[in-house]
Structure 1
Amino acid sequence: MLNLIFVTTTDCQLQCRHCLRGEASGQHLPFELIEKTVAGAKKYGIENIHLTGGEPFLYRNLAQVLALAQKEGLDVTFSTNGLLLPSHRELLRTYREQIRLLSISAESPRREIYERIRGEGHFSQLLSAFQFCRKEGLPFGVLCCLNKLNAAEITDIIRFARKEKAAQVHFTAALPCRRSQENGLVLSEEERRGALETLQKALRFSQLDFFKLAYVPMRIGEPLLASDNLVMCANQSLRYVTIDVDGQIHFCCFLTQYDIPCEREKRLKFARLQDVSFDEALERFQARMAEFLHGRFLDYRDGQWKHDLDFNSCFYCHKKLIQ
């Protein structure tokens, strides 16, 4: 079964210090390409579409996408900063049955750390967004991107998610894009290993919490997976297919970075859905992914991860495709 990820827009009201999108000018994915992709993916058993950005609640065709999901019987999930949710009250009420999860970015339970990452004055809006979701009965989770500023707060973030009655807490890590590197936020491989160990301990503890006294479901994202084994991420195993804001199938939503040189960007995109069918675009994606995985297997076999190559899925791909 495929899951579709749509980078709906590069617009965002924030300027977060670890943002992958860089200084991209405002762009919106044409709605007709979403329609075409959903129609083409139906034969593969699609059940969910994921909307990200930028900030997906700034996407000008959001209501049309939700109506399409309702028509096709699809669930919708979001990656969002959450600050605009109250202003979309009626839209969210109308399509409440389609919304499976609002993953709301929250890097810290502390105002100072959160606002150092996402900008001054927004922490109270974050708390209001959580309150709004609880009041409206909207399922939401905490999405935390670990970095140099918050890596020591893992336990506090889990408690924060539980206190706010989040449906889950999902941890990922800042990737080495230009902005996160310039701001010194990227965790070293050793630091990511430490964070992973802390998360795994917390996960084991939560599984022993039979009475759910301190429990919140946890997910550990691919940027935190161990570096010394061959782990295929969701994109490499073709469980997820990303459609970028320009309507092209993209290697991975974690690599949609718009301030990289054009020749590097060409390594990441396979087909314009405006020009080819979804089936043809998917075939190109599968062929390119098979070629890439062959190279990854060779690197693993030859022991490159023991020397100079971080073998974590996201960091490996970043080095091979972007650096």
Structure 2
Amino acid sequence: MKVNAIAEAITAAPAVNQRAPDMSAAPALDGLDRPLRDLRLSVIDQCNFRCTYCMPRDVFDANYRFLNASERLSFDEMMKLVRAFVALGVEKIRITGGEPLLRRGLESFIEKLAGLTSLSGTPLDIALTTNGALLAARARGLRDAGLARVTVSLDALDDAIFRRMSDVDIPVARILDGIEQAQAVGLAPVKVNAVIERGVNDNQIRPLVRHFMNTGIAVRFIEFMDVGGAAGWSNATVLSARDMRAIVESEFPLLAPHDAVESSTSVNYRLANGQGTVGFIASVSQPFCGKCSRARVSADGQLYTCLFAKQGADLKPWLGDAVSTEQLIEAIQTRWHARDDHYSELNADRRRSGQRKTWPTVRMSLVGG
């Protein structure tokens, strides 16, 4: 069945009060036998940054229409969604945006999430990705609510480069303070993600490693991807993970990868001359579609099974009180069973043959990274 047909099938109005078969303990596999293990849940599509590769200001200006509060899922609707995803095998919930700390009441939502357990009976792994600008004041409340770990996006230590890439008048010191506070209150691990663009911030790779060395904070470098707002993307702007690793090793020898996780996007190394972890996410040069176990739900309730998806499947019809959780589970399972997405691999094939990507993708700020 074609993806569009699947989307239409699961967005048809569900039969009210008609109970589907109980699938509360049935882990889902997609069309390529990939399990559903991770849910990336966007709580808001707005952001207080205008990063050039994600939300460039010439597009996301003062007149840009973001979702209003009534168009976003409520936290009660999100809880129903999460319970259904957990019933299908999800073990990790990553809260994203936009900038998730802009969503009011987030701590109360996290507290409810923290009360859920996976199919194996273990607590859910609850994480959050943030730009860090609001983190210092919120870190303790987030930790007390049950947040386990946090990833902070930080593309440069140099203030001028950072301000140019984020396109806001916020100093790097504010982000570093947020990172320190997160670590101080016990969020662990704290990770720092840096998207590297050739000729823009590649000179920040070694300073970032140097700064976080011996702090217990892992640094991960991400290849610049052609998704979302990356209208200026080209092969020339991509610095490969291999080249990034060579830059790191010109000053900091690395030891063999460790803590390998089957579905991990990052290949991680230990610093030979100190305590610390450096990771590389080679989403362009070495796509990892074959082990992708992630589903994404946007702030308005659209299910996306790939970051490169053209469209989502609307789950809102299944979120009303009159519709059972079992029906919602079946709708998600139907979509996941039909999933055969491997767009990064297809993009890589096209690039090798000199072709450009031929389809539009959902904007990054709507579904998170």
Which category describes the TM-score, using the shorter chain as reference length? 0.7 to 0.9
Report the Cα offset of residue 190 of structure 1: 5.1
Specify the alignment match of 1:100 in structure 2: 148
Deviation by residue 1:138-162 (Cα, 9 ceiling, x = unmatched): 2211110112411233222222232
Supply the distance in 1 between the matched residues of 2:316 and 2:114 (Cα, whole angstroms): 23
- Mapped to 1, the partners of 2:344 and 2:158 lie a distance apart of 40
Could you tell me which residue of structure 2 aligns to residue 219 of structure 1?
279
The structure with the larger Rg is: 2
Check conservation: 1:270, 1:281, Cα contact below 8 A.
no
Identical residues among aligned pairs (%):
17
Instruction: Note if 1:198 corresponds to 2:243.
Output: yes
Higher relative contact order (CA 8 A, sep 6+): 2
SS of 1:10's partner is coil
How many angstroms apart in 1 are the aligned matches of 2:140 and 2:182? 13
Higher helix share: 1
Pairing of 1:269-280 with structure 2 (within 5 A): 269-275=312-318, 277-280=328-331
- Which of 54, 73, 77 in structure 1 is aligned with 2:127? 77
Q: Which residue of 2 aligns with 1:172?
A: 222
Counterpart for residue 33 of structure 2: none
Contiguous gaps of at least 5 residues in structure 1: 257-266, 311-315
Paired positions, count: 286
Give, in whole Å, the separation in 2 of the partners of 1:271 and 1:286: 16
Matches within 5 A, 1:130-279: 130-139=179-188, 140-148=190-198, 149-162=200-213, 165-176=215-226, 179-181=229-231, 184=232, 186=233, 188-189=234-235, 192=238, 194-201=239-246, 202=248, 205-207=253-255, 212-226=272-286, 231-233=287-289, 237-252=291-306, 254-255=307-308, 267-275=310-318, 277-279=328-330
Deviation at 1:71, TM superposition (A): 0.8
What letter matches 1:59 in structure 2?
R
The answer to whether the 8 Å contact 1:271/1:284 transfers is: no
Evaluate the alpha carbon distance shift between residue 105 and residue 74 of structure 1 in structure 2; reply closer, same or farther with a 3 A threshold: same
RMSD of the TM alignment (CA)? 3.3
Q: Does 1:286 align with 2:337?
A: yes
Mapped pair 1:7 → 2:52? no
CA offset digits 1:15-55 (Å, max 9, x no partner): 22222584451544321232122211223332210011011
Equivalent residue, structure 2, for 1:38:
82
Give the TM-score of the pair, scaled to structure 1. 0.75
Rounded Cα–Cα distance in structure 1 between residues aligned with 2:317 and 2:107:
22
Whichever residue aligns with residue 281 of structure 1, its letter is: I
Aligned to 1:48: 92
- Distance in 2, Cα, partners of 1:157 & 1:99: 25
| Structure 1 pair 44–205 and aligned structure 2 pair: CA distance change class (3 A) | farther
Cα distance in 2 for partners of 1:179, 1:241 equals: 20
2:110–2:142: 8 Å Cα contact kept in structure 1?
no
Aligned letter for 1:225?
A: S
